[in-house]
Amino acid sequence: MQQIPMNLLKQFIQTLPQSELSFAYGSAVQPQFNYDYTKNKPMIDLIIAVDNVEEWHMQNIQINSTHYSGLSYYLGSRFIQRMNVEIFPIHFSPFVQYQDLKLKYGVVSTKELIKDLENWKWLSIAGRMQKPIVTIQEFEDLRFQRAFIANLQSALAVAILMDFKSSMSLQELLYSVISLSYYGDIRFTLGGENQNKVFNILKGNYKNITDLYLSNLGDLNNVIKIQKDGEVLIDNSIKSLEFLCSKIPGQLLSIVLGEKDNMGTLKMMSQDRIKDLIKESVKRKNQFSSKRMLFYNLAMISPFLSVKYGISKLSKRFK
């Protein structure tokens, strides 16, 4: 894998209107197993968080009009902001060329980003940030920093609850964690992603993923103990079950419980019932978000770029 072009990425961010946070994610900046970086130079994926989406896009359309196509170009920043509210919160601009870099960047409001980390409203930003990222521009906001850690702890808790047993390997646990944001994703159903993607992410980047989670365990240290041989011992007492349930993000919990918006209801369920409900809820959340994202991109990006991007995603199935 080639060195991450941090200087060029920082320079690119400087060509855009002011933002609060920017980071790179995905195979271009985090190594994946079974990916031939000498033959395939992946597009670099970025997320950019801004305080005022409409104002940001209004300025960017003036500065970088070539980054927009389809309805986003013709109807402008107010329409983009409306679609972010009504359909999907991230506006992606794919195939942006900056010097020798090929980029895709998504713009999201800081408010929606933090809400997704805290509550898994979409599990889109939260899912991306459940894997290691490369921060280009730091966000010195205490609520964001707390939400970033809470998202990691929620991912661990939900992964444990999906297979609540007395022990498992660390690799098994982290595989479940990385799987969360892909379980039920329509892109896998349509063949737009490599079916071995979770395995490739974990094997190619195991140390960074391990460091990310073990350094942010917090109170989860009271529930799980990591042994030197990599075994994870899990306290599966009722008290621990209740603690793990308290870590389920609000939007996911509302799907699990339906109209019974009462944590006490969850605590009275059997472990098997909780496991089944959480699996189904994660699946439904990802199905909902991935369908919305697909519809948004088809509506907002030109047909040519939509087809081009679709082909690039389909090609990953065979890598």
pLDDT of residue 57: 98
Give domain limits for the chain.
Answer: 6-318
pLDDT of residue 188: 72
* Grouped pLDDT means (10 residues each) for the chain, 319 residues: 85 98 93 76 93 98 94 93 96 94 97 97 96 96 97 97 91 96 82 78 95 96 92 91 90 78 70 87 93 90 61 52
CA distances from 140 to 21, 34, 146, 273 (A): 9, 36, 11, 40
pLDDT of residue 254: 83
CA distances from 220 to 127, 133, 156 (A): 20, 22, 9
pLDDT of residue 4: 84
pLDDT of residue 308: 57
pLDDT of residue 185: 87
pLDDT of residue 242: 86
Task: Provide the H-helix boundaries in 30-109.
Answer: 53-63, 70-86
Q: How many CB atoms lie under 10 A from the CB of residue 259?
A: 6
pLDDT of residue 316: 54
